[in-house]
Structure formats: C-alpha cells, structure tokens
Amino acid sequence: MSDLQTLYQTIILEHSKARHGAVDLAPLTDAVSRGAASGLRVAESHQINTTCGDEVTLRVSLGAGASPETDTPDSTAGASPDTAVSDLVWAGEGCSISQASASILTDTLRGLSVTEARALLENFREMLRSRGKIEPDEEILGDAAAFGGVSRYPARVKCAMLPWVAFEAALIEAESQ
Amino acid sequence: MKEYPWGMTSLAPSSASSTALHQESVPLTNIDVERIRNDFPVLHQSVNGHPLTYLDSGATSQNPISVLEAEQEYYEQRNAAVHRGAHTLAVEATEVFEAARETVAAFVGAQADEIVWTSNATEAINLLTYSFSNASLGLGGLAARQFSLGTGDEIVVTEMEHHANLIPWQQLALRTGATLRFIPVLDDGTLDLLAAANVVGPHTRLLAFTHGSNVTGTINPVAELVALARKVGALVVLDACQTVPHLPVDLKALDVDFAAFSGHKMLGPTGIGALYGKAELLAGMPPFLTGGSMITTVDMTHAEFLAPPQRFEAGTQRISQAIALAAAVDYLRETGMDRVAAWEAQLGQRLVTGLAEIDGVRLLGPGLGVERLGLAAVDVAGVHAHDVGQFLDDAGIAVRVGHHCAQPLHRRLGVTASTRASTYLYNTTDEVDLFLATLAEVAPFFGVNGGVKR
C-alpha cells in the first residue's frame, strides 16, 4: 500500500460516505427531556478544528447498564462502572478523516460500558499520537484501527480525534447530570 | 562562483542575480524559468518521494539566494540599531535601512517618506485603523480630524476581502460607532459594481478593497472604485498583497490614499511589510504604536512626534528584513514585472483551461479568457479540500486548502473551503500541468464521480 492508501484505507473512505450515526440533530433540550423519560442522560459536545473548520456535534445517551430493559435506571446515582453508552448520534461536516472517524466511533462505542468506552478512547488516542510507532490493536479498536495510518500525518491527527474529543466532553457532561 | 550546501552553483553576484536579467518585452519562457529556479534553493528538494511542486506562493513565496544573502550579509557586517547611535556600524545600518525604503518605494511608484515599515500587511491595516481610532478620540488635533469617525459615518469594504482587510475595519467600526457596509460579490466572483455605486454614498468616509482576490484571482477595477470614493470625498485603502508581488503596480498612478503589502509574498522574508500613504495624509495621522525612535522631545507628561514615516515606526525596526525585502525587489525589478505578470497570466489561463477539462471540479471566480492573477481556487465535488490537499501533497504538490482567510467570500460562493494553486515567476507550465493531472485523479481515488472529461 502507498502511504496515501495507508492513510485513506478503504474502510475510512466507505465510512466517510456512509456516515453511520449522522442525523439531523433535534434540539438538545428536546432530546434531554425525551431521554429523561426513558431513564437516559443525554448530553452533547460541539468541537471545531480551527485549522480547517471541520466540525462535529456528538450527542451521547447514557443508560443504566448493558441491559437497560431489565435493569431499573437509578438516576440519582453518579455514573456507575456499568453505565452503558446507549446511543450516539452526530452531525457535522469536514474532511473524510473526521467524518469517517465519527461514523466509526458510533459503531465502535455504542453499547459499550462507559469504562470500556473510555479505555478504548485512551487506546485510540495513544495510537494516534504515536507518530506511527504504536501499531493499532485491532482486537481492542476494531474498525477504528484503520486510523493507524493517520498517526503518521501529525497534521491530520486532529481530524481523526475531533469526534472522540467530542465524545469525551459529552460523556463528562452526561455523567454530571 | 559560489558553492551551496544544497548542491547548486550560483553565478550570481552576491548583491543580485545575473540569471534574471531584464530584457524589456521579451517574454519569459520555461527555459528562463528553469534558470530562475536555480536561484531558489528551497525548490530543489523532494517531498514524499516527488520533486517539490510549490504552488502556494499566494500564501508565502520562496526566497532567492540574493535575498538570503542580503539578510546574512547585514548580520555579518552591519548589524546595529538604526536611527540611534553615532558609531560607524549604526550609521551604515541606517543607510542601508533607508536605502531599502527608497528601493521599495520606487518599486510601487511612491516617495520614500510615504512607505512605513510594518511587520506585514495585516499590521499595516491595523496601523491605519488604530491611528483613525486615535483620531476619533481627538488625538492628533486639527490635522487628524479628517480621519475621525463616529456614529453616522460609514466604512465600506467588499465581500471578497481577506480577513486582514475586513476584521480591522469591523473593529474600528465597533470602537467608533461607525457603520460597516460592503460591496457584494456576484456569482462569478467579481464585485457587483452596480451595487457599489449605491453602497458608496454621502456617508462613506472610507473605502477599503483588495486589488486582486487571493481566492478568485479577480483583479478589481481600481480606477472605477477610486472614482466612486472621490465623488463622495472618501479615503481609499488598497490591499495590494496579491498584486504588488505579481503585477507592475504604481500606487501614485492608481491614486489610492493608502495601500498595504507584505514582503514574504514577494520573495522577501517574513516579518516585513509596508503601509503606503500619501505624504500629506500620513502627516496628519496620529501614531498607533508609540515609544522609542518616533519622538522629538519628551517630558514626563508629554511627547512630540517625528514626521512620517518615523512617527509610525516605534521601537527597534525590522532592519535585516527591510534590507532583504529590498533585495527581493531588486530581483523582481531585474526580471521585469511586466514579464512576471505576463508569465503568470499565461499560467493562470493554463490553470483555468485545464480545470475546465476535469469533471466535478468547480472553479471559483471568473472563467477562461477573463484577466486574472496566476492562481485558481477550486471545489472538488464530494471531496473535502483537506483531502484534496493531502492527495496533492502525496505527489509533492503544495497548495493551500481551507478558506484562505476569506470565509465570507467562500460562503457567498456556496462552499466552506477550497483548494488553491497559486503560481509565481518560478513555476513552469509543466508544474501547472502536473497539478491539473493530479487533481483529475482526486475524485477517482476518493470514489466519487469525476476526473478527466471524456
């Protein structure tokens, strides 16, 4: 594979067009009250890459556990370790790397526990910041391992990280509710 | 003959290049351009396994050896603070610094005392706006009153401005209570001159516009706009960043009141630019930056200021940069600005012709046959500009991607970002062709419809 093909792996180009999880976001207040009715804590984060103007708004819904149908949500407690990332949706525009990253993020993190999602995020971040030194672990990262080539292009790391930074911020916001 | 570490040999004397001899009205050819390229060390390198194709001179240009040497020679032989100190080095430094001002002034048809050194064009325009701000506060007395703005006054810009010729005016309007209005841009990227005649009216105090667009390559009709301003007694400020480096420009003949341009876009170093102002206008303006080297007498509560240009040059100046900029001007003058302009016009038309052959590529701004600078910005359908830029970079081609500091113009043209190739005197037709051929591969690579038209 050429360097360029390593950067723009087929899976990335496909996701940049498929845009899993991309929606016309309803007003946040509506989503929050609708989520509260079903025991979900909803929050979002809007991130802009000022060097290129790419933007992503990522909305997280946190449920009580891996099987929300059987568990009773406990809205008074803080985020317990088995709190689940019940849903992820986003809106945004930008380069193929940032858009594919948002698409793959929703596929990868949806349904994980918050603890698992955080661990995966850290693994992803460490790999991206390694300037190509850390081989992506497909076992852990799944499709997100396709961004391994991005880490050799420091100017594009921000593009790939943008939705993940939005996820991180939205998660903290949702947990504080 | 001098050997250089990058493996080239220059026959040029240290003060100027011999490869760029000005032959009046003899057009430049690719052979001349190859010789010119030998004077630019940075162009002779590989990027991502390909020879560098530098098509981003609209953002910053490269430096010929004579410019690099001028700066080095200054530091090796003359470095001293100018306009202060009586020792030999200080005198010599002052002489070359002021000679540089004369060189640059002559290049744009101005007198030396009408050129104020700034760090760049952005600072030049900010200098104007803060001086006018100070005048609006009553500083500078009677002479400064003509620059004073307030409620009811209007500042007019255009929709195609670089942020550097927009935001300083926005801020000046906010500080003074003046209103900012703008001349709209038509779908083809040119100014709506019919609308301009209505926007520029009895309340207009100042009209600021770009000579040539850094996005569309459009060259604005300066005479027509100056006439509009004169009719209502408004001052004219010209952003000449994209024209002074590329066209023969005579600011006196254009009859603008002020103009700004940047050294690094015209073969000079970064950190140096210039504000041109008609002598009688500069004379009435209060200073912006204050401090050392701009005063006559000072006591604990009061200071008297020097005449322009020193009034606007507080603190230790950008001496080596000014001298290097003069070397850049020498290089351009010896090559001949008429020849540079004609060569780039040819490259510009070649770009536009080739772009029309690529499916899914939309040129921003006027099309084939319309006078333009040697640059072209495009939108590739379905591929974000940063991905286009990455693809080109992989082939060693350096272009600008993004909004090129002109968000309102991009919005007006219906895009958020574009990919811009901008040429200079050291670009060959082969480089333009390589850019076009590589651009045609972008859409197929990213799996969208497009590519060479069949």
Q: What's the domain count of chain A? A: 1
**What DSSP character marks residue B364?**
E
Q: What is the CATH number of domain B2-63+336-452?
A: 3.90.1150.10
Candidates A3, A13, A52; nearest CB to B386: A52
Confidence at residue B454, expressed as pLDDT on a 0 to 100 scale: 59
B446, A52: Cβ pair inside 8 Å? no
- Please state, rounded to an integer, the average pLDDT across all residues of chain B: 94
> Does the pLDDT value for residue B248 go beyond 70?
yes
Cα distance between residue B200 and residue B151, in whole Å: 17
Residue bearing tokens 């200080």: B90
Please give the residue range of the domain that contains residue A107.
3-175
List, in order, residues 6 or more apart from B95 with CB less than 8 Å away. Answer: none
- DSSP code per residue over B66-95: HHHHHHHHHHHHT---TTS--SHHHHHHHH
Which pLDDT tens digit goes with each residue over B63-84?
999 999 999 999 999 999 998 8
| Selected catalytic residue, list B375, B378, B405, B413 | B405
Average pLDDT over residues B242-267: 98
The pLDDT confidence band at residue B335, using thresholds 50, 70 and 90, is very high
Min distance A78 CA to chain B CA atoms (Å): 41
Residue B291 has what pLDDT? 96
Strand partners, A91: A57
DSSP A27: P
Q: Average pLDDT in the A14-34 region?
A: 94
Q: Quick one: which of B453, B246, B248 has its CA closest to B355? A: B453
Q: β-strand B179-183 against B418-422: which pairing, if any?
A: unpaired
Q: What is the pLDDT of residue B86?
A: 86
Portion of chain B with pLDDT greater than 90, in percent: 91
pLDDT tens digit sequence for A67-120? 444 444 444 444 455 799 999 999 999 999 999 999 999 999 999 999 999 999
CA distance A147 to B124: 43
Contact state of A53 with B417 under an 8 Å Cβ cutoff: yes
- Average confidence (pLDDT) over B310-320: 97
Say which DSSP state B177 is in: -
Give residue-wise pLDDT tens across range B365-390: 999 989 999 999 999 999 999 999 99
User: Are B445 and A97 in contact (CB < 8 Å)?
Assistant: no
Q: Which residue has the higher pLDDT, B421 or A64?
A: B421
Number of Cβ within a 10 Å radius of residue B236: 22
**Distance between start and end Cα atoms, chain B:** 51
pLDDT band at B452 (very low <50, low <70, confident <90, very high): confident
Kindly determine whether residue B386 and residue A13, on different chains, have CB atoms separated by under 8 Å: no
Q: How many angstroms separate the CA atoms of A33 and B397, rounded?
A: 51
pLDDT category at B19 given cuts 50, 70, 90 is: very low
* Window 28-57 of A, Cβ < 8 Å to B: 51-54
CATH of the domain at A95: 3.90.1010.10
Domain layout of chain B by residue ranges: 2-63+336-452, 72-333
DSSP assignment string, B3-44: E-TTS-EE-S-TTS-STT---TT----HHHHHHHHTT-GGGS
Answer yes or no: B241 catalytic: no
Q: How far apart are CA B274 and CA B238, in angstroms?
A: 12
CATH number for region B72-333? 3.40.640.10
ipTM of the predicted structure?
0.84
Q: Could you tell me what percent of chain B has a pLDDT over 70? A: 94
In single-letter form, the type of residue at position A35 comes to G
